[in-house]
Structure 1
């Protein structure tokens, strides 16, 4: 007995110290904090750090003490470190940039066929380079430009493709495509080479869900025809957003209802609720069933089946998977007949998502989903308290919009002032009427075209009635507002202010909490002193766009490229960057000449700033009202002199028609010359006004060999040269001969391709040039 007692005592003590992990809201927040810490790093630590953190975390989260909290923190840290390193290891190495690979794999998702090319996602199963098998697997985003065949989902192909790492552009505002690539598992991007080796290997099998989605999308397009109704219904039915035009996206953004057109958590949750309701009705219709099976046991699988079915129909993208997983966790907890509070269920869902996809914390949807649900739980009336829906819904929508305002402004830099009212009208109609009808039509349109078509017609009528109202609201002058970038402390302060303002009635001075929103909504901007100005050369790849900003005026020189595929850098880079910098008005737009890499985005900038006067060396090629540059035109803003020099006025067309702009202030000067070649820049030397030193030179023609002649450099004596060029571009810009000309004269040369956007302030206390990739460094950056 004595020996038995002595032998079991340590086991009892161990049992008291350790047990199954307990998940609470605090533990979920600790795990989230550990994951966030990883994504604040500019580079990842050695991989063994993640392994050590995991070994420490596992026993701690099972320990029956306060050590569980740091254990959950370490678990979030370890998972994100290990997954982040795995994502970097899977990415195409920089040394293989621009190489031609022979790849074998399957088409994933719905290809986007356009007149000039077809964009599609390709799951690489095997790859070889120069006849040697290489370790490259994962998702690639490809274009097929010339003579592209009709690509069907799930088909298996062998392709010759030129690939590069998913390197993106880095600017003050706009979408971080490198972060998006990591988040979605994209290991490479590129295009298909038209080689005999590119061929179809196997057709899609009968169980291809994406094939069904494609067939439903085409059936909707044939029934409704081209236009807004068709594109929106296809997005609601199968997640096919390819046909939604930029004008329609603008309406969605201005009214704040874009989340309804995406396959949102609200729709998936609504389908889950519908499944539970049907199960509950079946349970009540069969009395014998009520004696054998409890209601929740029947409701949970049915709800999950409906949610999973809609998720498959929507393409099972990462956001949809997260939503289905959230619903599954809550339903499994209910199925186990355990009493789970809503907040506890939310914590379980958050932990499950972070275990399944640790990098989900990089997604804006992750934060908006959980923040929205948590806020609604806080605002919902306690049990037993009833209030009329017509009074409760407007209150919830208004308070939810206010509560999510700091997060929305921080993530997207914009907000819809009509959003609360638009959502109040759109959410019930779209979620509870249009989506169910559209889904029924989608399931019937292939086997029973007549019935499915009639349902689609009905959904189209309802949706377009709503859409006309949304267009009216989007056209209101104050429908949408853009906010300048603010520091992280302003976001934290605004979040605290909203929490203060939403405290229960009776708490004194709640309204003062709204004052804490001001640093986020109206961030302080250091204005250039009189006679000084700032220069921003945006990272637009092989193109040009430069912002010149004095104390109270803004000028944009060139608008960036627009490609034949329709990809417009003005829409995706230039305009978001202007908004992020707090530019709400352009006083002048100068387009050097009509080539697409400089003038491609002109129409987009004109739509965003319709009252801005435009002038160009080739106004006839712009497609918008513009005047010709006139040599000798001068004006002054805030003590800074501007002068236009049409050096290439004698040229018939092209680079040497570039409109040259000279800017000179008290503390320095700037010269921008578009694509002017050495043939014309020699004559420019005789026209140059007296320019203050130090001088910044915008290197002409992206740094080509025949730009910025020796005569020009000797006459100007610039201190700094700024080059706007694409990363590893096919032209080899900046050319080695040009680089040598600058080196011989000890002129510093900085390239957007290597550094992202460039920012220089010419003021009384000028600092070093700011480089976007240094200021926005992150572990996922492609170097």
Structure 2
């Protein structure tokens, strides 16, 4: 069973790394061949050789079966796609809201299941509905299960594609959401009553959430209680998330195996107390079986209340397998039960391997089995709890570095406080308040949460509370996992002393940087905006900080900071803000608040309120802030940086501080080539640059001015720069039509290759350290494509 489960897992993982779905029949054929070969070897071969041959065939069969099953499930799901003819068109749909609608700033986001729609509309879509500023009436309060008629505009799933970035398209695929869009007009409520059992459940979840928030109008941690009660984490404050991340206790507010098991243990314990006092019942059904059934029933009820989302469903399936194994009456090893649970989860959800929670959950259970199992005298009581917590905090370090590029060093101390507080005080009070309609219980639970946060917050604020480093390569992660496994083995295990050396190599690993004279420029996929990371041998510069994504999100926090952390960039030597348009400075405030910046070089404008305070704080504490103007130049590691525009006192006629023509233009020049960063300049600024620079504009790679706008990239500018590559940073189907087809054609006619972030993801240009070598350039969606990307 264990080898079969691991083989099936390997097959599923292999499928989820493919760029196409054309090998499913071949995998099914391989599985059948393995069955025949296994039968042949089993009938003819004898001894250890025959047994190993049969085992190898069984594992290969399991791998091929997992691959074929995942491929078939993917084919079914990918077939439910938005028709290309409907993309961007007004579509009339009617259907029901499923799940909990999420309130946004000035609107709602929710999953919608159409029951009356044109052919080509997927069965599940995600919609956003924003207030019309011109309309006097606010949006209605949406509830799960309501049936509405909408006019919507849809598009296929699309997310940013950056190195080690979040795969939004894969996240939507796992949840069977095959299109996203927004409500245009003509919204009409058709039926307020829920249309099914799960919709009624989601309605009750919404009622519970509102009850908690109403009972704690001033509660700073009310969102934590809502997360524990109904699995809704959207109301948790950003400050709380920072504490959870730095201390490693975020798993306590994400409903998962811990909470489902806790409820199951509580219900099973209560049932056991009652069952033992009824001899007639105990004679009909043994106490341990009644306890298991009660645990499964209680956990099922809680899983429903939490919305039966994918993490909760995985935890419930694991518990259900364990209960069925107990009810079977057979004495099964815990590792076999875990393997059976793994198989059930993968059959139900082949995309589970894309989730960090899947790996963390099974790894945690395996660590617990390794710590407590196979011992002559296994630890018990508080010693067992302490040993398990220390082992989990230590053993999950390689996985945390691989998935999140960080590891909370204070996690053991924080969890020693938080796990008992949540498990024995906060969560029971919340669950009791759901049964007993006394809001005072929520107040008590919130008070206990305040005390817990007051204890763990100082740990989160320690200087080295969180170990952060670049994402290690897969081979080093595997070596770290092997080292952890060796350390969990008994003390006399051979080779155990080599494990600390492997872990030290994992913790001290640093990504390679360009050699002196070389540099790498990566244009990040941030949507309709610009952010370019330029890295030399020992220095890092960011040119622009991307756009804002509404009132509560921006490219700095969502894209740039995770990217820098994954690449081991702890501080920026220079942040250049070409001008004050929101698509170029929208993420600056988040960057300046979260990371150290040596110098800020900004375009000719005043300190904007969106990022001015953070800029001033950084300028006083970490470096200086300067205005960008022609003539500024410096050299890093054999690479020269030159500001070409705007001029000192003379700005272009008729320009203002909002004028794109006064954007900062920067040229980066090394022995192996030149890069030109142009901001949002238009044709007037291009003409001025040509007049002043003449021969100094030639570059190997150019960032197209103003995202490829029709008002930029004049014929004269294209000829003066004469690059081999031009990169257009723009959002998919943006409202401005960037990059314009005429601009793309103009660059192509000059012999320049067009690259664009909206369809190709982040674009990386590597400039060599020596002349005579060509600049290499690649796109993220080409390097790391998956079968669901762009579909």
Length-normalised TM-score, structure 2? 0.90
Which of 643, 652, 657 is residue 656 of structure 2 equivalent to?
652
Q: Which stretch shifts more, 66-75 or 323-332?
A: 66-75
SS at match of 1:759: strand
1:336 and 2:328 aligned: yes
Structure 2 SS opposite 1:484: coil
* Number of the residue aligned with 2:478: 492
Cα distance change, pair 594–198 in 1 and its aligned pair in 2 (3 A): farther
Deviations 1:12-41 (A, max 9, x none): xxxxxxxxxxxx111111111221221222
After the TM superposition, which residues 706-745 of structure 1 pair with which residues of structure 2 at under 5 Å, given as runs?
A: 706-745=711-750
Match of 1:424 in 2: 416
Stretch of structure 1 that moved more, 292-301 or 233-242 = 292-301
Q: Which of 70, 78, 99 is the equivalent residue of 2:68?
A: 78
Q: 1-side partners of 2:39 and 2:264: how far apart? A: 33
After superposition, what is the alpha-carbon deviation per residue over 1:391-429, rounded to whole angstroms, capped at 9, x for unaligned? 443332222222111122112222212122212221121
- CA 1:568–1:368 in structure 2 vs 1: closer, same or farther (change >3 Å)? same
CA 1:768–1:532 in structure 2 vs 1: closer, same or farther (change >3 Å)? closer
Q: Pick closer, same or farther for the CA change 1:519–1:681 going to 2, 3 Å.
A: farther
Change (3 A) 1:645 1:247: farther
Q: Decide whether the 8 Å contact of 2:164 with 2:563 is kept in 1.
A: yes
Q: 1:531 to 1:297 in 2, by over 3 A?
A: closer
Q: CA deviation at 1:57?
A: 7.9
SS of 1:144's partner is strand
- Stretch of structure 1 that moved more, 459-468 or 646-655: 646-655
2 CA distance for matches of 1:226 and 1:545? Answer: 38
Selected match of 2:454 from 459, 468, 491? 468
Q: What do residues 577-608 of structure 1 show as CA deviations (whole Å, max 9, x unaligned)? A: 11122211101111111111111111111122
Tell whether 2:121 aligns with 1:136: yes
In structure 2, C-alpha distance between the alignment counterparts of 1:342 and 1:62, rounded to whole Å? 29
Equivalent residue number for residue 147 of structure 2? 156
Query: In the alignment, does 2:203 pair up with 1:204?
Result: no
Q: Does the 8 Å contact 2:629/2:646 carry over to 1?
A: no
* Post-superposition offset of 1:520: 4.0
Question: Which residue number in structure 2 is paired with residue 113 of structure 1?
Answer: 103
1:567 to 549, 553, 563: 553
The answer to whether structure 1 residue 125 and structure 2 residue 102 are counterparts is no
In structure 1, C-alpha distance between the alignment counterparts of 2:206 and 2:159, rounded to whole Å: 29
Q: What do the CA deviations read for 1:232-258 (whole angstroms, capped 9, x no partner)?
A: 111111112111233322221111111
Instruction: Determine helix, strand or coil for the equivalent of 1:683.
Output: helix
CA distance in 2, matches of 1:383, 1:671: 65
How far is 1:172 from its partner?
1.0
What residue number does 2:620 align with? none
| 44-53 or 533-542, which deviates more | 44-53
SS at match of 2:221: helix
* Paired residue secondary structure (1:620): coil
1:179-237 deviation digits (Å, cap 9, x = unpaired):
1111111111111112x255434433695111111111111111111443111111111
Quote the offset at 1:559 in angstroms: 0.8
Aligned residue-pair number:
748
Q: What's 1:678 paired with?
A: 683
The alpha-carbon deviation at position 508 of structure 1 amounts to: 4.9
The answer on whether the counterparts of 1:173 and 1:579 sit within 8 Å (CA) in structure 2 is: no
Q: Residues of 2 paired with 1:465 and 1:186: CA distance?
A: 40
Residues 1:604 and 2:590 are matched in the alignment: yes
* Matching of residues 312-327 of structure 1 within 5 Å: 312-327=304-319
SS, match of residue 656 in structure 1: helix
State the shift of 1:691 in Å: 4.6
The aligned runs of 1:757-776 (5 Å cut-off) are 757-763=762-768, 764=770, 765-776=773-784
Aligned to 1:728, the other structure's residue is in SS state coil
Q: Output the CA distance in 2 between the equivalents of 1:475 and 1:114.
A: 30
Which has the higher mean CA deviation after the structures are superposed, 96-105 or 681-690?
Answer: 681-690
The answer on whether the counterparts of 1:647 and 1:683 sit within 8 Å (CA) in structure 2 is no
> Does the CA-based 8 Å contact 1:484-1:521 persist in structure 2?
no
Task: Label 1:776 to 1:314 Cα distance change in 2 as closer, same or farther (>3 A).
Answer: same
Partner of 2:211 in structure 1? Answer: 219
Q: Distance in 2 between matches of 1:263 and 1:556?
A: 38
Deviation at 1:106, TM superposition (A): 1.4
Task: Work out which of the residue numbers 319, 337, 351 in structure 2 matches 1:345.
Answer: 337
Alpha carbons of structure 1 residues 631 and 482: separation in structure 2 relative to 1, 3 Å: same
Aligned to 1:245: 237
Maintained 8 Å contact 1:47/1:85: no
Specify the SS of the correspondent of 2:394. helix
Deviation digits for residues 300-333 of structure 1, max 9, x if unmatched?
Answer: 2211111011101111101111111111111122
Aligned counterpart, 2:619: none
SS, match of residue 481 in structure 1: strand
Question: Who is 1:15 aligned against?
Answer: none
For residues 679 and 344 of structure 1, do their structure 2 counterparts lie closer, same or farther at Cα, with a shift above 3 Å needed?
same
Partner of 2:444: 458
- What is residue 622 of structure 2 aligned with on the other side? none
Counterpart for residue 188 of structure 1 = 179
Maintained 8 Å contact 1:558/1:590: yes
Equivalent residue number for residue 790 of structure 2: 782
Partner in structure 2 of residue 668 of structure 1? 673
Q: Deviations over 1:245-289 (max 9, x none)?
A: 333222211111111111021010111111111111011122333
Q: What is the TM-score with the length of structure 1 in the denominator?
A: 0.91
- Equivalent in the alignment of 1:370: 362
Moved more, 534-543 or 328-337: 328-337
Q: 1:570 to 1:94 in 2, by over 3 A?
A: farther
**Does 1:279 find its partner at 2:279?**
no
**Does 1:623 find its partner at 2:615?**
no
2:528–2:729 contact (8 Å) kept in structure 1: yes
Do the aligned partners of residues 57 and 102 (structure 1) sit closer, same or farther apart at CA in structure 2, a change above 3 Å counting?
farther
Tell me, in whole angstroms, the C-alpha distance in 2 between the residues paired with 1:704 and 1:153.
42
Alignment of 1:742-761 (within 5 A): 742-761=747-766
| TM-aligned CA distance change 1:662 to 1:381, over 3 Å | same
Tell me which moved more, 199-208 or 52-61: 52-61
CA separation of 1:767 and 1:112: change in aligned 2, threshold 3 A = same
| Contact 2:523 2:762 (C-alpha < 8 Å) held by counterparts | yes
Which residue number in structure 1 is paired with residue 22 of structure 2?
45
What CA distance in whole angstroms lies between the structure 2 residues aligned with 1:644 and 1:198?
A: 56
User: In 1, are the aligned partners of 2:145 and 2:192 still within 8 Å (CA)?
Assistant: no
Indicate yes or no: 2:467 matched with 1:477.
no
User: What residue number does 2:135 align with?
Assistant: none
2:527 to 532, 541, 554: 541
**Contact 2:124–2:176 (Cα < 8 Å) also in 1:** yes
- Give the match's secondary structure for 1:582: coil
1:557 aligns with 2:548: no
- Rounded to whole Å, the distance in 1 between the matches of 2:397 and 2:105 is 39
Contact 1:669 1:691 in 2 (8 A): no
Unmatched runs of 5 consecutive residues or more in structure 2 = 43-53, 133-138, 616-624
1:469 match: secondary structure:
helix
Following the alignment from structure 1 to structure 2, what is the Cα–Cα distance between the partners of residues 53 and 695?
49
1:229-244 pair list within 5 angstroms:
229-244=221-236
- State how far apart, in whole Å, the 2-side matches of 1:330 and 1:59 are: 32
